Amino acid sequence: MSLIHRLATMCAFAALISLSAQAQELTAQQQRMKSCNAQAKGKDLKGEERQAFMKDCLSGGEELTAQQEKMRTCNRTASERKLKGDERRGFMSDCLSKDGGDKLSSQQEKMKTCNREASDKDLKGDKRQEFMSDCLRADRGERRSAAGGR
């Protein structure tokens, strides 16, 4: 066998080994599926009982955090109201920013005001980012100038 033929064979063999190793690595979802299947088999579950177990197991079966629950509630309400596009985005922003009460913090109010102004001016990209940065710093900028000598 010539040297070139040997090198080509070794390269092909190395490529096959690499592909084989990659194929054996499971994604997180595949790992979860494998684990849930093993658990269901170990419990000898069948039919609807197995389906219910698999659904719960694959979804994580964990309690939702307060933020996740809030997200789910806001999404459900937005869907019930059939909100789309900017209207849905605005609703979700308001819904998620509430601390359980109806009042927004002063920072949230400022953000809402600056966002509205940027939208009214139809600012996009870097110009919007620059405007938002300046708008949100407006109060602090005056204080910095007076206190920091800038």
Question: Per-residue pLDDT tens for 53-87?
Answer: 888 887 775 556 777 788 888 988 999 999 999 99
Residue 1 in tokens: 């066998």
Name residues whose C-beta falls within 8 Å of residue 145's C-beta, 6 or more positions apart in sequence: none
**pTM (two decimals):** 0.30
- Quick: pLDDT tens for 27-39: 777 888 888 888 8
- Chain mean pLDDT for the chain: 78
Cα atoms found within 13 Å of the Cα of residue 16, Cβ hemisphere only? 6
At 104 the pLDDT is: 62
Residue 3's pLDDT band, with cuts at 50, 70 and 90, is confident
Radius of gyration of the chain (CA): 28
Local structure of residue 100 (DSSP, 8 states): S
Calpha distance 96→67 (Å, rounded): 8
At 22 the pLDDT is: 55
Calculate mean pLDDT across residues 97-126.
Answer: 80
Calpha distance 1→43 (Å, rounded): 56
